[in-house]
Chain A
Amino acid sequence: MRMSYNIEGGDFSAAGRASSEVKRTLKQFNISPLVLRRIAVALYEAEMNVVAHARNGAMQVDIQPHYISVVIEDEGPGIEDIARAMEEGFSTATDEVRQMGFGAGMGLPNIKKNSDRMMLTSTPGVGTRLELTVNF
Chain B
Amino acid sequence: MQTTLKQLVEELNFECLSGKACLERPAHAAYASDLLSDVMGKAQAGMLWVTSQVHKNIVAVASLKELSAIIVVNERRIDPEVLAHAEGEEVVIIASGLPAFETTGMLYKYLEKVKSEE
* B-binding residues in A (CB < 8 A): 12-13, 15-16, 19-20, 23, 33, 37, 40-41, 44-45, 48, 100-107, 109-110, 113
Whether A45 touches B37, Cβ cut-off 8 Å, given contacts A12-B57, A100-B55, A100-B57, is yes
Tell me, in angstroms, the Cα distance from A105 to B41 when the chains sit together.
Answer: 11
Task: Give the A-binding residues of B (Cβ under 8 A).
Answer: 34-38, 40-41, 45, 51, 53, 55-57, 59-61, 63-66, 85, 89
Q: How far is the CB of B50 from chain A (nearest CB, A)?
A: 13
Chain A residue numbers with a CB within 8 Å of B56 are 12-13, 15
- Contact yes or no, B60 A106, CB < 8 A: no
Q: Which residues of A contact B51 (CB under 8 A)?
A: 101
Identity of the chain B residue whose Cβ is nearest the Cβ of A100 in the assembled complex:
B55
Which of A16, A41, A101 has its CB near the most chain B CB atoms (within 10 A)?
A101
In this complex, what residue of A is CB-closest to B51? A101
Compute how far the CA of A40 lies from the CA of B57 in the bound complex, rounded to whole angstroms.
Answer: 14
Given the complex of chains A and B, what is the CA–CA distance between A110 and B35 in angstroms?
A: 13
Tell me the complex Cα distance, A23–B53, Å: 23
The answer to whether B64 and A16 have CB atoms under 8 Å apart is: yes
Whether A40 lies near B35 (C-beta < 8 A) is: no
B57 touches A41 (CB 8 A): no
Contact indicator A41/B53 (Cβ below 8 Å): no
Besides A15-B60, A44-B64, 9 new A-B residue pairs in contact (Cβ under 8 A), listed by A number: A19-B64, A20-B60, A41-B65, A45-B37, A48-B57, A101-B57, A102-B37, A106-B38, A109-B41
**Given known contacts A15-B56, A100-B55, A109-B41, A23 and B64 CB-to-CB distance under 8 angstroms:** yes
The 10 closest A-B pairs by CB, nearest first: A16-B60, A106-B37, A40-B64, A104-B35, A15-B56, A101-B36, A110-B41, A104-B37, A15-B60, A101-B53
CB-defined contacts of A12 to chain B, threshold 8 Å: 55-57
- In the bound complex, residues from chain B placing their C-beta under 8 Å from that of A110 are 37, 40-41
Judging by beta carbons under 8 Å apart, are B65 and A40 in contact?
A: yes
Cβ of A101 and Cβ of B34 under 8 Å apart?
A: yes
Which chain A residue shows the least CB distance to B89?
A: A20
